């Protein structure tokens, strides 16, 4: 099956940035691009459909304009578009089985003081096990293509995930860019946060963590010999380390565990923080 890169459009600047990112990604992966606008136009049975025709025409115009812009920039790319009558989060999640990944725009302040992530984005992440990419428009401001930057993947060496590493290595191989694999190890509680946390102890913990990370990465290096891999081990809060390391990344790859998770469960504190605060596009990979 030739799955599409599916992107949600709502007319916002963030969704435009998401569409541009998705078009570039579709070209890199050799996949078709599908533009989707989801909105509830239908009125309850027996009630007049006030304004629904106007909204539907607006949606059609939005998709057609996006199609024209992206087709001009990527003339060889296969681009389709759909206008869907239904709740956006549920409709997009329902399209996930036929998608390589879902791409959505996100907006925010870009600092740890606050960030507004659309409820649609969080709902889609929770509702599907397909990769979901969140794109902010700020990543375009430097003029450097995301494909020219490294891919950063957050790795838990104690519970390594094949789906996460497979996506990260395949992405780096497709782009021809380096891969940064980061493992963050929290400081032992016995060290506290003061002077007892000395450089010698830091170096020893980092060395052990890096050795464990290298062991996890070895089979993937063998499978993808053309990918240049940098293994990093850091001590401290994982979310902070990922955000710092991902400042210059073209894509940040993080995971969320779905095994045993109740319906509507949160996506995990580290992943939640990254998708809220990272300026780079973030892909969330669901895994057992």
**Whether residues 285 and 149 fall in one domain:** yes
Q: Which domain holds residue 45?
A: 1-141
Give the residue from 81, 111, 141 where a domain finishes.
141
Cross-strand pairs, 229: 179
d(CA 238, CA 183): 8
Tokens of 128: 């599907």
Query: Are 132 and 284 in contact, with CB atoms under 8 Å apart?
Result: yes
Q: How many C-beta atoms surround the C-beta of residue 60 within 10 A?
A: 13
pLDDT in tens, the chain (288 residues): 579 999 999 888 889 999 999 999 999 999 999 999 998 766 555 555 555 677 788 889 999 999 999 999 999 999 999 999 888 888 999 999 999 999 998 864 343 333 334 568 888 888 899 999 999 876 554 444 566 799 999 999 988 899 999 999 999 999 999 999 999 987 765 555 444 456 666 677 778 889 999 999 999 999 999 999 999 998 889 999 999 999 889 999 999 988 655 544 568 889 989 988 898 999 999 988
Give the residue from 87, 115, 141 where a domain finishes.
141
**Whether residues 20 and 133 fall in one domain:** yes
Could you tell me the pTM of the whole model?
Answer: 0.86
**Whether residues 149 and 132 fall in one domain:** no
Query: Are 70 and 79 in contact, with CB atoms under 8 Å apart?
Result: yes
**Model pLDDT, residue 177:** 95
What separation in angstroms does the CA of 161 have from each of 48, 104, 197, 274?
51, 24, 30, 18
**Model pLDDT, residue 152:** 98
Number of domains forming the structure of the chain: 2
Query: Are 21 and 101 in contact, with CB atoms under 8 Å apart?
Result: no
CATH of the domain at 189: 3.40.50.12370
**Whether residues 148 and 288 fall in one domain:** yes
**Whether residues 183 and 125 fall in one domain:** no
**Whether residues 101 and 233 fall in one domain:** no
**Whether residues 135 and 157 fall in one domain:** no
Query: Are 197 and 187 in contact, with CB atoms under 8 Å apart?
Result: yes
Give the residue from 141, 161, 196 where a domain finishes.
141
Radius of gyration of the chain (CA): 20
């Amino acid at each position: 099956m030739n799955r599409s890169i599916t992107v949600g459009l709502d007319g916002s600047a963030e969704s435009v940035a998401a569409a541009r990112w998705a078009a570039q990604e579709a070209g890199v992966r050799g996949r078709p691009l599908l533009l989707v606008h989801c909105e509830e136009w239908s009125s309850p049975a027996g009630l007049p459909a006030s304004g629904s025709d106007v909204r539907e025409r607006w949606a059609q115009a939005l998709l057609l304009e996006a199609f024209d812009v992206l087709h001009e920039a990527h003339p060889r790319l296969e681009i389709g578009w759909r206008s869907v009558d239904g709740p956006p989060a549920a409709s997009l999640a329902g399209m996930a089985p036929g998608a390589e990944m879902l791409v959505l725009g996100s907006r925010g302040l870009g600092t740890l003081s606050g960030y507004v992530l659309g409820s649609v984005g969080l709902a889609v992440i929770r509702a599907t096990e397909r990769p979901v990419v969140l794109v902010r428009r700020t990543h375009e401001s430097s003029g450097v293509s995301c494909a020219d930057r490294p891919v950063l993947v957050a790795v838990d060496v104690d519970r390594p995930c094949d789906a996460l590493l497979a996506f990260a290595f395949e992405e780096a191989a497709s782009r021809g860019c380096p891969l940064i694999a980061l493992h963050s190890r929290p400081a032992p509680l016995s060290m506290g946060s003061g002077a007892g946390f000395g450089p010698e102890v830091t170096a020893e913990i980092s060395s052990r963590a890096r050795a464990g990370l290298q062991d996890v990465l070895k089979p993937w290096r063998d499978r993808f010999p053309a990918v240049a891999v940098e293994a990093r081990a850091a001590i401290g809060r994982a979310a902070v380390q990922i955000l710092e390391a991902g400042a210059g990344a073209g894509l940040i790859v993080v995971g969320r565990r779905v095994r045993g998770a109740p319906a509507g469960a949160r996506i995990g504190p580290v992943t939640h923080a990254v998708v809220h605060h990272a300026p780079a596009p973030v892909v969330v990979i669901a895994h057992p």
